[in-house]
Structure 1
Amino acid sequence: MISHETVFITGGAGFIGATLAARLVEDNNIIVFDNFARNSLQTSGLMGHKNLTVINGDIRDTAAVMSAVLDAKPDRIVHCAAIAGIDTVVRSPTATLDVNIVGTANIFQAARKLGSLKRILSFSTSEIFGSHAFQTTELSSAVIGAVGEARWTYAVSKLAGEHMALAHFHEFKMPAVVVRPFNVYGPGQVGEGALSTFIKRAIRNDEIQIHGDGSQIRAWCYVDDMARALLLALEHPAAIGQTFNIGNARAVITIYGLANTVIRVLGSTSKIRFVRKDYADIELRVPNINKARDLLDFEARIDLDEGILRTAEYYRGVAI
């Protein structure tokens, strides 16, 4: 377990970043660099913690990133900062490219200035596999959708980040690792997210809307499992220079089935309504996590029903 180190987390106020910070903060010095466009820290119980330092900054600001990293002299860097969420990406495709590409370049340029670094972990996405991805491995070809379709700007920007991380590993011997999350959900999620939206609406017995016909298939990974995978990727010697798919291939369900499962598990009276889908969508996305299992000894532990119950308990305790 990482202890007595300084861990610099870009996007640390986001859902996954804040969850990881909570796992590390008791035994480490945590530096969060974020513009607080979304803020999971506010309900995390971390604010004001003696081991947490918060820097309000824009990952696109080269000077600010460089200054923060060089001042912190971190032992490990986790690069979560990004524009994400389909609605946000479709609405702001140019900002998506700018934040995700320029921001990633900035953090790696800053990392190169450090005298020593034990690990730099960079986030990619399962979106790089395109609209149909079943049992995809780390060696499966990246498939980007039609040029001009706003959704794919996210995948393109994240794929560029993968190349940047691995190029730094090969050229500069930087201890880089890349993770590709597959549909992470759970307590603390803010902003967009189908499962969190379904849960919040089910708690209120509000109507649940499904985009399209609901036949889209996803694999859902609870955030505690994701955080455990990140800790393994940050520590395990075999992780350096590798890319890992992280998800739960056993929690696979259609979007329509997901809505019905949420209603059943939570005893909700919500009704389901199908609405028009005006953007490119992912029809099938299920990971193969054999590499993470073999190299990191990672496997997801939380099944879908339990994850829904835990997430609902969280949302019942905060204003939704």
Structure 2
Amino acid sequence: MSTPLKNEKIFITGGAGFIGSKLVGRFIQDNSVTVFDNMFRNSLKDKDYYTHPNLTIINGDILNLKELRKAITDSTYIVHAAGIAGIDTVTHNPIKTMEVNMLGTANILKTASELENCKKVICFSTSEVFGQRAFRSSEESEAILGAVGEARWTYAVSKLASEHLAYSYYKQLQLPTVILRPFNIYGPGQIGEGAIKLMIEKALNDQPITIYGNGTQIRAWCYVDDMVEAVVCSLTNEKANGESFNIGNEKAITTINELAHTIIRVLHSNSNIQHKAQTTADIQLRIPDIEKAKRLLSFEAKFGLEQGIQLTAENLNC
């Protein structure tokens, strides 16, 4: 699928990661793309465009302002997808989570504001800013953060702070920023944690699928190609400037138990399901309202859950 962006210099932090590496593939044919990533999770190396002549890969740290400033020179579009994520990673590294997600975003916005021709900055936030129960939460819904001391919420707090900073750069300096809040993105090439990815891997090998808690937690699942399309819509639409958007699939809703059974059925697996006690705070309900994205971006998720599961299984490492 082509993109309306051509002959631009696109800078992607976290460009070697799950979503970032997919974005590279979308832009690489018609643009110069620079990936800035510490390569902690490298999904890009498995892509067929890894050696594309339009691609520059810089192994860098977004906490290093001098390094970042040098790498971002002359960029026209910026996608800030770098960050610490994943419940296990976050709970074991709360300090690093806060530093990377807040200070890293501050560095990106500062360097972007210094560029002569920065046309757009996309900042990834998270649906976690809506707390444990989010039913058709809109962009105007109140942010709900968990108790201090529960490590899981350091991620949501750091991302919410980053949202306020991005919006401040837009209001005070007229930097064209856009905030995207992904809701449970999954698909091929996901590295590290991810419920659907882990379940599919188990199902393909007929191994037991583990569910933490009673499995009645409800999620809306969004296939990665739909997330990429939302980024493209945000980059190419002036109406997005200074706005935040929920990005998800409000039609692909299921409990965790139902998700596991669907994966087993779709993949003709012999896996069984086992339950273990939940040891950290969990999200009980997470369903987005995406009317704003429909209205301003003309975006709506297209991939159904069963289709997404099949595509993920067929292209697990791609």
**RMSD value over aligned CA atoms?**
0.8
Q: Deviations over 1:101-139 (max 9, x none)?
A: 110011111111111211000000000000000000000
- 1:46 CA displacement: 2.0
2:12 to 2, 9, 29: 9
Residue 66 of structure 1 pairs with residue 62 of structure 2: no
Distance (Å, rounded) in 1 between the aligned partners of 2:119 and 2:184: 28
Find the counterpart in structure 2 of residue 107 from structure 1: 108
Matches within 5 A, 1:117-128: 117-128=118-129
Identical positions, percent: 51
Q: TM-score, normalised by structure 2?
A: 0.98
- 1:197 CA displacement: 0.5
Residue 291 of structure 1 pairs with residue 292 of structure 2: yes
Q: TM-score, normalised by structure 1?
A: 0.97
Matches within 5 A, 1:71-150: 73-150=74-151
Distance (Å, rounded) in 2 between the aligned partners of 1:105 and 1:309: 39
Q: Deviations over 1:15-60 (max 9, x none)?
A: 0001111000000000000001101101122211100000001111
Look up the equivalent residue of 1:21 and give its one-letter code: V
Q: Deviations over 1:78-105 (max 9, x none)?
A: 0000000001001111110011011001
Find the counterpart in structure 2 of residue 49 from structure 1: 52
Q: Deviations over 1:143-167 (max 9, x none)?
A: 0000110000000000011011100
- 1:264 CA displacement: 0.4
Look up the equivalent residue of 1:171 and give its one-letter code: Q
| Count of residues in Structure 1 that have an aligned counterpart in Structure 2 | 315
Residue 174 of structure 1 pairs with residue 197 of structure 2: no
Report SS of the residue matched to 1:253: strand
Residue 30 of structure 1 pairs with residue 33 of structure 2: yes
Q: Deviations over 1:190-221 (max 9, x none)?
A: 11000110011101111100010001000000
Report SS of the residue matched to 1:310: helix
Alignment gaps of 5+ in structure 1:
none
- 1:12 CA displacement: 0.3
Distance (Å, rounded) in 2 between the aligned partners of 1:44 and 1:262: 25
Look up the equivalent residue of 1:206 and give its one-letter code: Q
Alignment gaps of 5+ in structure 2:
none
Look up the equivalent residue of 1:57 and give its one-letter code: G
Find the counterpart in structure 1 of residue 23 from structure 2: 20
Look up the equivalent residue of 1:198 and give its one-letter code: M
Report SS of the residue matched to 2:315: helix
Look up the equivalent residue of 2:156 and give its one-letter code: A
Find the counterpart in structure 2 of residue 242 from structure 1: 243
Q: Deviations over 1:253-312 (max 9, x none)?
A: 000100000000000000100011110000000000000000011000000000000000
Q: Deviations over 1:222-250 (max 9, x none)?
A: 00111001000011010001000000000
- 1:69 CA displacement: 1.2
Distance (Å, rounded) in 1 between the aligned partners of 2:63 and 2:206: 41
| Structure 1 runs (4+) greater than 2 angstroms displaced | none
Distance (Å, rounded) in 2 between the aligned partners of 1:65 and 1:153: 24
Q: Which moved more, 1:165-174 or 1:39-48?
A: 39-48
Distance (Å, rounded) in 2 between the aligned partners of 1:210 and 1:158: 27
Find the counterpart in structure 1 of residue 254 from structure 2: 253
- 1:67 CA displacement: 1.3
Matches within 5 A, 1:254-293: 254-293=255-294
Distance (Å, rounded) in 1 between the aligned partners of 2:54 and 2:114: 24
Look up the equivalent residue of 2:44 and give its one-letter code: L
Distance (Å, rounded) in 2 between the aligned partners of 1:131 and 1:297: 28
Report SS of the residue matched to 2:175: coil
Find the counterpart in structure 2 of residue 40 from structure 1: 43
Distance (Å, rounded) in 1 between the aligned partners of 2:205 and 2:90: 28
Find the counterpart in structure 2 of residue 203 from structure 1: 204
